[in-house]
Chains A and B, each alone.
Chain A
Amino acid sequence: MGKEPGELLPGTFEMLVLKALSLGAMHGWGIAERIERLSCGVCAVQQGAVYPVLQRLLRRGWLVAEWRATENHRRARYYRITAAGRRQLDAQVEWWRRSIGGVDRVLGAAAQEA
């Protein structure tokens, strides 16, 4: 499980959603679009996958949601990151960087280092 959306590492997609929202409150489509645009299409997922993740993050108190009018006077549900969410994001980014660094070092290892 968790392998299907975008073939990302487990937990990564959650981190991306938190990150997207740390740039400003947004509705579901906007989040999906923002992730896709910022990753230049690399992290393109089935857009629907955003919603289960949003529900999970809401439940943990890392996000709040409220219905707001949009620019074109429609009603949309906007998600905003909470302070706890930011702390979580920081922790996840920290963890991600360390993991990536480690993986990178392994991948970049030259023959004589082994």
Chain B
Amino acid sequence: MSWLHAARQRLDDLFAGDVRDSDLDEEIAYHLELETQRQIAGGCDPVTARARALARFGNPRHVTDAARDARGTQPLEGCMQDFRWALRSLSKSPGFTALALFALILGIGATTVAFTVLDTVLLRPLPYRDAGRLVFITERTASHSTLPPSNPNFESWRDGAKSFDGVASAMFPFSQTVWPSASASDAVRVPTMGVSRAFFAILGVSPLVGREFSGAENAPGGERAAMVSYEFWQHHLGGRRPLGVVRINDSPTPVIGVLPPGFQFIVPADVYLAHEREPSTMRSAHNYMVIGRLKAGVTLAAARSDMTALSKSLLAEYGTDTQAVDADVVSLRDHVVDDYRIMVTIVFAAAGLVLLIACTNLVSAQLARGWAREREVVVRAALGASRGRIVRQLVLESAVLVAAGTLVGAVLAALAVRLVKIFGAAFVPRLNELSIDGRVLGFVAAIAAATTLLVGVYPALRLANRDAGLALRSRGSGMTVRASVWRLLVGFEVALAVMLLIGSSLLIRTLHNILNADTGFDAQHIVTAAITPNDSTGDKLEQIRRELAALPGVEGAAYTNQLPLTWGNSAGPVRRTTDPLDRDWPAMAGFRVVSPDYFAVLRQPVLRGRTFATTDRVGAPNVAIITPGIASKLWPGEDPIGKTIATNYLFNDWLTVVGVATEASSWTMPRGAQNEIYVPLAQHLSRTEGQLVVMIRTSGDPHALVPVVRSRLRELLPTSPAQLGTMDDRIARSAADRRFAMLALTAFSLIALLLAAVGVYGVIWYIVATRTHEIGIRMALGATGAMVRREVLGAALVMAGTGIAAGVLGGIVTTRYLQATLYGVSRLDPRTYIIGAGIALLTALLAADVPARWSSRVDPMTAIRGDG
């Protein structure tokens, strides 16, 4: 019957472990009571009797653990026991547990968020069907690589390329006024994008509702039709069915389809139109985005050589009409992600460093705790726990910690991912797709496992390997060796934190430099209002401008067809009178239509000649103001005033240069100045492409004036809504990728600093605690508290200093990868390194000062008497 009994015992143990533990506790209590009584009977006073009873019994906790070890051998039971042991052991040192969890949550949370971003932006295919086969095609001219092609070149590619199942194009989006229904009185201004035949089919997106443009609709003379984004359909059309009719710039247009939620092609748009109804015929223009879907089995390289051959034959066929000498084919994903690849990678690497610091912290804390627990482990081993069992228990303890930290870290990361998605989607491509998927979960599981191995196995093995006899008999031995291992770990942490500090402060300086870079004009205090002039006359526009300029708090107002810092699709070559109609002239320039006050309102200096005047109107000679780059290219060493040029693909419309204005950052910050040709609005009213922007200089905060301008414009232009903003915000947005990396790196370096501070605090506290005895003796011999404190701080200084030196070296090596993103600051900028090192040093000393102060207040007598 004994096997039956044994089985029952084990079942009882398994299901009632805690009850049995309390049985054991009661047994031990009773045992100690009996032994105490015996000692009293033998003539001891009660206190001594109790102490002797305890001494004869041994450490009750170790006995409990050993008894529990002895009880079970079934794997399941053993694991549950070890699990309970781990929980109990962790709850016995709440300080350590809280600190470890804190570090793990930060490290794992940060890494998870960074990986989610990396996964979404860089690893996942674009959200189109079979997106791996999508490519982005651009053309090369003799002087420029990767320019967008013209519509005729796109059509030739579509007809002639053999590598693709389909080639499609889209225009750069621009804002138009849309009335949600034929009878609606309130209109909205939304970005619209023209697309070619079968664009969505080739891209691999099916409309959620309705259909995409038919071949007949998307051809010259086709019926008007529009597709809308899901968001536009919901917000402005009330999700209505049938989809009905909208008015676009006063033309009733039936809505034929709705795109899926969240759909966008490179940049968001709300209304999609069929651009092949009115095909552009200028072969030398550069204004279409072209995609292709590779045929199955065709490689990128094959497509490239196909396109090169095609470009050569087009060049032979069209000669001077086309500018393209070659074409370039890249995967669409690479094109979309572009500059952000490096940012996202940097942020992920930084998060990895944070996790590494968290792990280091944990390892050092585990080791420290392990040394404190050495006796316990040795006794357990003596009482019959095998070495494997002890290692298993210690590793399980780390695993329990890591599992808890991972769980909380992942939940926090999920929340942070939502925030990043909300706030980052406008700035970083593809963040609108941000989500946690199976790969992210797999990654989290993998880092949790790696973290467990890193923080659990080494300390456990180390602990379990300790020579039993040595540890039992001499408590202080090997202390210096241990402290030096620990110091090394903390120094490593400090080094990593310093590297992150250097990286983030380089990015902070970069962002600051970009935002304060010389734009060539005064961007502060400018309100911008995009309006649709429709058929407003020049006089009507001038009246609106005057009304706005007369508003209180407004210093002046001017028109442009295109704001500074907006990507334009009107850059084109510039022809001199002496140039034949050759295909590749030396200068390219943007083309901006502005009103006379433009340069005054923007405070963009006119360097030579004159600015525009009201006399530059239709009938008067056509004039232009150019930037110095054009002058030096076209007429080196000559005075450009009075010369004549033609541009914007009207190569026989001659303009007389009347002035030279400073180059301004016209497209992006900080890429800065491009060549621009400015022409007066009065002479080019028809060239504004249905859009004008009023720029209003305010004397105070421009944001305060936005509502005032909006309501005044509503009165002046009741049928067409304005889109308002400020130039400040536009500049801020232009540095969004760096801001993203800067914010992430700053957050990570602060976390790293905090963790390193905790590490320093821990090791210094340990040093002080193990030397209390020594400190007591020295103070008894006359050392003052201040001296002791100074000495402890000195130890911290040495440790932190070593780490900082290593961190600075690490920074010198690793900032190479930041090089491409920096602006206006050298990656080896000494000030940045000094600041980073200084912050780390200060933090380390502050962290060390707490135990140092404590050490200076040691009471010599107590310290010497205690066994320290």
Contacts and interface: CB of A to CB of B under 8 A. Distances in A.
Interface of A: 1-5, 27-30, 32-33, 46-49, 51-56, 58-62, 64, 74-77, 82-84
Interface stretch (B27-35, B613-621, B640-648): B27-35
Give the contact-size bracket for chain B.
35 or more
6 contacts: A3-B382, A28-B30, A46-B57, A55-B68, A60-B2, A74-B30
Given A48-B59, A49-B383, A61-B6, A27 B71 contact: no
B588 to A, nearest CB: 84
B5 interface: yes
Interface in B93-141: none
A64 B27 contact: no
A82 B4 CA distance: 13
A69 to B, nearest CB: 12
A29 B383 contact: no
Contacts of B57: 46-48
Nearest to B32: A29
Given A1-B382, A47-B57, A83-B2, 9 more contacts: A33-B34, A33-B38, A48-B62, A49-B58, A55-B68, A59-B9, A59-B71, A59-B72, A64-B5
B2 A2 contact: no
B27 A27 contact: yes
A4 B63 contact: no
A76 B62 contact: no
Contact of B384 (A2, A64, A77): A2
B27 to A, nearest CB: 5
Contacts of B73: 59
Nearest to B38: A33
Closest 6 CB pairs of A and B: A61-B2, A48-B63, A48-B58, A4-B382, A46-B58, A52-B70
A47 B9 contact: no
A29 B63 contact: no
A54 B67 contact: yes
Chain B contact residues: helix, strand, loop or mixed: helix
Given A49-B58, A51-B67, A52-B69, A59 B31 contact: no
A55 to B, nearest CB: 4
B710 interface: no
Given A46-B56, A46-B57, A77 B23 contact: yes
Interface in B364-420: 381-384, 386
Chain A contact residues: helix, strand, loop or mixed: helix
B162 to A, nearest CB: 78
B66 interface: yes
A67 to B, nearest CB: 8
Nearest to B53: A47
A84 B5 CA distance: 11
B515 interface: no
A54 B24 CA distance: 11
A29 B3 CA distance: 27
B60 interface: yes
B10 interface: yes
A6 B9 CA distance: 29
Nearest to B72: A59
Interface string B625-666: 000000000000000000000000000000000000000000
The winner among A28, A48, A58 for most chain B CB atoms within 10 A is A48
Given A47-B35, A48-B60, A59-B10, A53 B30 contact: no
Interface string B5-26: 1100110000000000001101
Contacts of B384: 1-2, 52, 56
Contact of A51 (B3, B9, B28, B34): B28
